[in-house]
Amino acid sequence: MSSGANMHITIRLQFAKNVVSFSDIATAIGQAGGDIVGIDVISSSKTHTVRDITVSVLDSKHADVVVDTLRKTAGVKVIHVSDRTFLMHIGGKIEVKSKIPIKTRDDLARVYTPGVARICTAIAEDPTKAYSLTIKRNTVAVISDGTAVLGLGDIGPYAAMPVMEGKAMLFKQLAGVDAFPICLDTKDTDEIVQIVKAIAPAFGGINLEDIAAPRCFEIEERLKQELDIPVFHDDQHGTAVVLLAGLLNALKIVDKKIEDIKVVLTGIGAAGIACTKILLAAGVKNIIGVDRQGAIHRGVQYDNPYWNEYANMTNPENISGTLSDVIAGADVFIGVSAPGILTVEDVKKMAKDPIVFAMANPVPEIDPEVAEPYVRVMATGRSDYPNQINNVLCFPGIFRGALDCRAIEINEEMKLAAAEAIASVVTEEELSETYIIPSVFNNKVAERVREAVMKAAYKTGVARKDDMMFR
């Protein structure tokens, strides 16, 4: 199985016309396992041609194989090789732009001194005016310490920046939110909380990202208590919201009620605990969580305090055992854990029309192609299979809604509303085993989520703004 989207490299090469033809070059690339996706002529003379050839490869090692093959081809000179993904990141991916051109002295006096002093005074007299007179009403800080980045782990704040920049791009493109990547060079919980509190006046919301468990729980909880703006750990709640959206639609296909299903969930970390909580809030009554020590159950004092809390809110029959033991009769498997831990034999033990959400990345808990004959609905975290569970479906719209109604928090009702809104984008006519969740590029999603989140915020009394339509 490949690890997801392939790499594209661009190879600039010169070849002698009387020694080698382009068809020979194309054949060499194909024999090395590369796929040509683009060809550009840079220059041509009577004797030589220089071309840029863009090739799809599996990974960096495969790229080396393709390039080495070309270097060994008679009449071919490889001038240089560029990775298109690296090129996209040169100089960073985002910038700050002015909304108002400064062309005259009068413009300068209004946007800066002396005119800006009147604006400062107005905000000093009424701090709520910061929402109307500054960028606060449209800004989110994307905060990370770089300790749990994608599947890379603790790579530090510098290496985390490209991910946070990408997140900021998605905020802007999908929901018009101005997000700022802020990577902190500290792993100290108190210090992170203090820093975020100190910079909070500039922002309408805080998105916590890629902070390792269990510190992420305390950081989020303390910030929620001490700030009057929404704080949202996307690795927990974004995953949970989109998971629930997919499950709501999957249950329609198998004609089961959410309160009647048995769910087995592997990976009791940040995402796993958040997924469990939203499922319980949505009406699931029987969830069994499984981690390295087997099924989490009462009667055991776990070293992880969050597991003790987890045991008290799940596993109503207090079942113990391995994943293979507890999965018998389960209607739904949810994996936010590790590759390959779910076997075909496990799936065969599940109830009729099993639903499998294998969301470990880049390699899921079970290969979708292996599982396909035995499951009714399959979802993963990958873009190269149907039903991708992707946080991008959640965070732009949920923050857009929270900002627009000036919510003081993103509560459970708002998350449930977001999940239902995402699910609703897939119509009854469209709904099928391979289409339970909309595409991340579906332009209806963010607006549908925004509207639902705002309604829930007003209903639960956490909105500070009256007009739902105004941004």
262 is catalytic: no
Using a 10 angstrom Cβ sphere, with 0-12 exposed, 13-18 middle and 19 or more buried, the burial of residue 47 is exposed
Closest-CA residue to 337 (of 314, 309, 319, 363): 363
Q: Which residues on adjacent β-strands are paired with residue 435?
A: 432
Catalytic residue among 46, 72, 97, 112: 112
Closest-CA residue to 325 (of 352, 343, 310, 340): 343
Question: What is the C-alpha to C-alpha distance for residues 266 and 342, in angstroms, rounded to an integer?
Answer: 9
Helix (H) or strand (E) holding 236: helix 234-254
Residue 304 annotated as part of some ligand binding site: no
Contact 271, 258 (CB under 8 A): no
Residue 447 in tokens: 């607006």
Catalytic residue among 167, 224, 262, 415: 167
**Long-range residue pairs from 407-410, CB within 8 A, at least 24 positions apart, any chain:** 407/230, 407/453, 407/457, 407/462, 407/463, 407/464, 408/228, 408/229, 408/230, 408/462, 408/464, 409/224, 409/230, 409/231, 409/462, 410/230, 410/231, 410/232, 410/237, 410/453
Token pair 């080698």 in the structure block, residue: 20
Residue 390 annotated as part of some ligand binding site: yes
**Long-range residue pairs from 296-300, CB within 8 A, at least 24 positions apart, any chain:** 296/268
Contact 197, 226 (CB under 8 A): yes
112 is catalytic: yes
* Start-end of H helices in 113-155: 116-125, 130-133
Residue positions in the annotated binding site for a divalent metal cation?
209-210, 235
Residue positions in the annotated binding site?
209-210, 235, 361, 390
Residue positions in the annotated binding site for (S)-malate?
361, 390
Residues classed as catalytic: 112, 167
